[in-house]
């Protein structure tokens, strides 16, 4: 028998849990189900197990709007974030709606029936569900594999090669020489953490990244929690952080040279004896790629201590003893960690079809950063690249409930974004990073004007999604059978 739900949410990470909360809070009459492909919830915060795994944005904005973050650390470790998510699903009874080991493999929309029929891999068995609205909360990268460039001579290396996405507890690096390849958020997390036990850690990067230190604990927030109720304190700190982040982002875009100089000078103060020009001065402007945040200067402290160092250069090949650089220099290693990044992926590459026609996402334009032109009754949760993911996923979920409630009131079963006037296409994301550029050809585009433009700005999105209209270039159609008879 095929089970039917009003809404099916796919994915039980931050976005899926937030979506579930909004559905039951704002659209309580609708039935919903959360399908999670893995055996556990948490998504990113359960999958990644490498040493030191932590957020790189503050938990006052990475946390949900409806559940205060009350731990002392604002830059939190992975297990604490996972605990917060587990607590959320228990506290709000969301856990009863999640089915684990249910991986979506196919989705087909039928206008005649006004529903999606989805195929799900339930631990090897193929099962089907139907739903009126499909809410994709599957994150933005491939869970099955990370980005792993092929290095010449990798098979010759005598030690162990590890990708951080697949870290296992048996990886023992105590007293070992480690080379971490990469300069992104994962590399700057791994290096100081591994340096605590390893004999030595080298961060080997092809090119530098902007690195900024912030206190792990937010003293103002911790004080405010003592004098105000948790919810009020959380709201104040959340807004302060949103506005500060937007302020700094705007300055970085308006005065890139000045902003760049300020960041580099801060690194110089941290590392007076290092070659900051070579290792910490990127060729691009701040926010052309994601900035890396380190808590309490931990990376700089590891570098100052001599337990870690940084090398900037191109890999020629792996050797039995380590890595040979194009400069001729050799780095000896027992363990090589390839922190070379994620493979960006939209909706876990599941094939979609509308009335029998397969969807090619690159031919569709994103609507308000959550739906797609000509694709009915489907939304995706995709967070900000320049601020905490949850800020946007929260607004997206709230907007979806607005749409659902409007459909209910109007007795219309279908909502489809339709481009009503010419819209210039733009890439979905404008980061220059390799992992973004590699993926963009398969991604939908955004447009240069409303409502097809991705705002990447929380306050602008609040105005558009919370207070703005829902009819802009949105077609409400497909009357309920009863409504047709009544008319």
Residues interacting with ligand FAD, by CB under 6 A? 10-16, 35-38, 43-44, 48, 55-57, 62, 103-104, 137-139, 143, 186, 348, 350, 381, 383, 388-389, 393
Least separation in angstroms between CB 50 and ligand FAD: 8
Distant-in-sequence, close-in-space partners of 106: CB < 8 Å, separation ≥ 6: 118, 119, 350, 351, 352
| Residue 152, number of CB atoms within 10 A of its CB | 12
Q: Is 271 helix (H, G, I), strand (E, B) or coil?
A: coil
Least separation in angstroms between CB 219 and ligand FAD: 20
Least separation in angstroms between CB 241 and ligand FAD: 12
CA distance 374 to 45: 33
User: 451: cis peptide before it, omega within 30°?
Assistant: yes
Least separation in angstroms between CB 183 and ligand FAD: 15
Beta carbon nearer to ligand FAD, 271 or 387: 387
Give the pair of three-digit tokens for residue 9: 């949410």
User: Tokens 């705002």 sit at which residue?
Assistant: 455
Q: Which of 80, 111, 89, 7 is nearest to 40 (CA)?
A: 89
Beta carbon nearer to ligand FAD, 366 or 407: 366
CA distance 289 to 285: 8
Strands 330-332 and 352-354: unpaired
Give the pair of three-digit tokens for residue 468: 């703005």
Q: Is 399 helix (H, G, I), strand (E, B) or coil?
A: helix
CA distance 79 to 76: 8
Least separation in angstroms between CB 270 and ligand FAD: 21
Least separation in angstroms between CB 128 and ligand FAD: 14
């Amino acid at each position: 028998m095929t089970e039917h739900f009003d809404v099916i949410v796919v994915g039980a990470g931050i976005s899926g849990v937030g979506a579930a909360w909004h559905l039951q809070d704002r659209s309580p009459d609708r039935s919903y189900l959360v399908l999670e492909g893995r055996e556990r919830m948490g998504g990113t915060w359960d999958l990644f197990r490498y040493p030191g795994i932590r957020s790189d944005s503050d938990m006052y904005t990475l946390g949900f709007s409806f559940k205060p973050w009350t731990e002392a650390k604002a830059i939190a470790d992975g297990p604490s974030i996972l605990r917060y998510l587990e607590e959320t699903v228990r506290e709000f009874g969301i856990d009863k709606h999640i089915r684990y080991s249910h991986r979506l493999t196919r989705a087909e929309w039928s206008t005649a029936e006004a529903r999606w029929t989805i195929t799900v891999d339930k631990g090897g068995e193929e099962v089907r569900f139907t739903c009126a609205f499909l809410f994709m909360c599957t994150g933005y990268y491939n869970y099955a594999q990370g980005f792993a460039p092929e290095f010449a001579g990798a098979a010759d290396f005598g030690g162990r090669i590890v990708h951080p996405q697949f870290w296992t507890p048996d990886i023992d690096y105590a007293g070992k020489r480690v080379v971490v390849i990469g300069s992104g958020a994962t590399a700057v997390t791994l290096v100081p953490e591994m340096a605590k036990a390893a004999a030595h850690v080298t961060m080997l990067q092809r090119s530098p990244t902007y690195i900024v230190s912030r206190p792990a604990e937010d003293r103002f927030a911790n004080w405010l929690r003592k004098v105000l109720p948790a919810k009020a304190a959380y709201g104040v700190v959340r807004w302060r952080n949103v506005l500060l982040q937007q302020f700094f982002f705007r300055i970085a875009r308006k005065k890139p040279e000045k902003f760049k100089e300020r960041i580099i000078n801060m690194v110089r103060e941290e590392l007076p004896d290092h070659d900051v020009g070579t290792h910490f001065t990127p060729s691009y402007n701040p926010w052309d790629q994601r900035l890396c945040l380190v808590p309490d200067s931990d990376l700089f402290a590891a570098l100052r201590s001599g337990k870690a160092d940084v090398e900037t250069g191109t890999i020629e090949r792996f050797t039995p003893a380590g890595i040979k650089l194009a400069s001729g220099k050799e780095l000896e290693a027992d363990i090589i960690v390839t922190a070379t990044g994620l493979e960006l992926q939209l909706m876990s590459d599941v094939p979609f079809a509308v009335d029998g026609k397969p969807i090619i996402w690159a031919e569709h334009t994103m609507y308000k950063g959550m739906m797609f032109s000509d694709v009915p009754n489907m939304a995706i949760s995709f967070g900000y690249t320049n601020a905490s993911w949850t800020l946007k996923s929260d607004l997206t979920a709230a907007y979806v409930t607005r749409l659902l409630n409007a459909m209910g009131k109007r007795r219309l079963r279908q909502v489809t974004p339709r481009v009503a006037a010419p819209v210039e296409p733009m890439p979905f994301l404008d980061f220059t990073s390799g992992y973004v550029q590699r993926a963009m050809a398969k991604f939908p585009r955004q447009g240069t004007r409303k409502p097809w433009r991705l705002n990447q700005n929380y306050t602008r999105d609040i105005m558009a999604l919370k207070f703005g209209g829902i009819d802009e270039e949105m077609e409400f159609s497909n009357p309920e059978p009863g409504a047709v008879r009544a008319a």
